[in-house]
């Protein structure tokens, strides 16, 4: 059961964890451009599978074919740390806003 939950969380949470190559906004044009590799304005099954494979490989840090809870949480912590600009272990609205604006500029 736990393995299925982690896989589901990976698929559902890709927008929260995705690296710059996969785009950062969950449903916006940046995500579309990153996944629609042939630029035809639609995401084919092959493009979706390639994007998921890429994101899975990024999260599977020890390359064992599974994403452990530690790997999943570690990826989220990296995003948290990137947003926590003052390093106090807390995110303010200003820090979140700054992070989301920075992610938009990367697209």
**The total number of structural domains that make up the chain:** 1
**Cα dihedral 43, 46, 47, 53 sign:** positive
Owning domain of residue 92: 2-106
Residue 102 has pLDDT above 90, yes or no: no
- As a whole number, mean pLDDT of residues 43-60 equals 93
Q: What average pLDDT does the chain have? A: 79
Confidence of residue 18 (pLDDT cuts 50, 70, 90): very low
Query: CA 55, CA 49: separation in Å to the nearest integer?
Result: 10
pLDDT at 23: 37
Please give the angle made by the CA atoms of 52, 54 and 56, to the nearest 5 degrees: 65
Query: CA 13, CA 75: separation in Å to the nearest integer?
Result: 11
Query: CA 1, CA 61: separation in Å to the nearest integer?
Result: 22
Answering whether pTM is above 0.85, one says no
């Amino acid at each position: 059961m736990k393995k299925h939950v982690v896989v589901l969380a990976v698929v559902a949470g890709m927008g929260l964890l995705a690296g710059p190559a996969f785009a950062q906004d969950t449903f916006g044009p940046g995500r579309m451009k990153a996944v629609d590799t042939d630029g035809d304005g639609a995401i084919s099954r092959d493009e979706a599978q390639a994007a998921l494979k890429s994101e899975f490989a990024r999260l599977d840090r020890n390359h064992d074919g599974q994403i452990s809870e530690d790997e999943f949480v570690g990826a989220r912590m990296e995003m948290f740390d990137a947003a926590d600009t003052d390093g106090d272990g807390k995110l303010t609205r200003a820090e979140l806003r700054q992070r989301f604006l920075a992610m938009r500029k990367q697209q």
